[in-house]
Structure 1
């Protein structure tokens, strides 16, 4: 078995090469069939799976960051998931449909009161609405 070497840099972050990342991805594919929910946490395959998964996560956090959605994207996606229209949301919020359109397009931000109502109506986590 080839050893995976992760070399720490001067900071607290690990420097992970593309080659190490690809090795970790391949190793995960090999380990997944061997590790199930019933596998003990101290099993060597479970431990290795955790380690290589951490390597992949660290690499992807740097090279493939996922941007947090905007308020407008959250609202738009949630409206679609609920099968609602902007007009229906506007009615429930007590605002005009053009105001909801402004929130979605980023031309305006909802007040805290309206943002709370949007979260309740659409099932959006308040932390997501606040960008946390």
Structure 2
């Protein structure tokens, strides 16, 4: 079978099926089957990158998340920005990041230069005042118990509760999470809000497993890893074994039914 650049959805699906068949053969490195598997992986990755591009993270969101992660206050960032007033201006998107700021933040906070450069244009954001918090599926979120902690002993408004819920997950109110495009069909504004609520829930659930997860090493995620994972499906308790295998390698598995009006059947997320 001759393999060519993928141009159609049908061709993409056929190549995925071929990859599955090759993995089941457990080919040895250097064999014709192994070479075919490598070639197909390159073709599939190229197609997915073109069809489902991933937007770069927002630098301000990245800084805010790292501050939350390290328990830092705005005053703690003054050495990277020059003055506390500049910290406030940048974090409120009134001043763009400079080269010196990017260099200092990259070294001091461990953020990649690519992340800090990617969206340093303060105009490329969604103002929180444009977010219609009433569009979040609050009733369904309450019924599922997602807001139980935030609802107890509080007089906060529903809007404030949802804002806190989203912020807990690290999806900052101001930008990237709300302007990031999610692929899918028949999206409506309400659907998008439901998807973000679901996304926040999954992130929070995954973090609760942090202490029981093994160490994640991206270098281990290769064809051999995927082959071992696929072979677990042969066993009677394959799904349970697969979850244990993934979590042993630092990958949290969360099973969360989709919210009404959405049909999301899975997602892969990387938490910083």
TM-score by length of 2: 0.36
Q: What are structure 2's unaligned runs of at least 5 residues?
A: 119-272
Q: Which of 72, 94, 117 is equivalent to 2:104?
A: 117
After TM superposition, list the pairs within 5 Å mapping 1:1-132 onto structure 2: 3=1, 5-6=3-4, 14-32=5-23, 34=26, 39-40=28-29, 42-80=30-68, 82-87=69-74, 89-93=76-80, 94-96=82-84, 99-131=86-118
**1:61-94: CA deviation from partner (whole Å, max 9, x where unpaired):** 22101111232133234334x4233426424435
Contact 1:103 1:110 in 2 (8 A): yes
Residues 73 and 45 of structure 1: CA distance in aligned 2, closer, same or farther (over 3 Å): farther
Q: Counterparts of 2:67 and 2:23 in 1: how far apart (Å)?
A: 36
CA distance in 1, matches of 2:20, 2:92: 41
Quote the RMSD (CA, aligned, Å): 2.8
SS of residue matched to 1:106:
coil
- SS of corresponding position for 1:110: coil
Aligned length in residues: 116
The offset of 1:119, in angstroms, is: 0.7
Partners in 1 of 2:3 and 2:35 — Cα distance? 16
Cα 1:21/1:123, change in 2 over 3 Å: same
Whether the aligned pair in 2 keeps the contact of 1:86 and 1:100 (CA below 8 Å) is no
SS at match of 2:48: helix
Matches of 2:54 and 2:108, distance apart in 1? 26
Query: How far does residue 23 in structure 1 lie from its aligned partner after superposition?
Result: 1.9
TM-score (norm 1): 0.66
Distance in structure 2 (CA, Å) of the matches to 1:111 and 1:68:
18
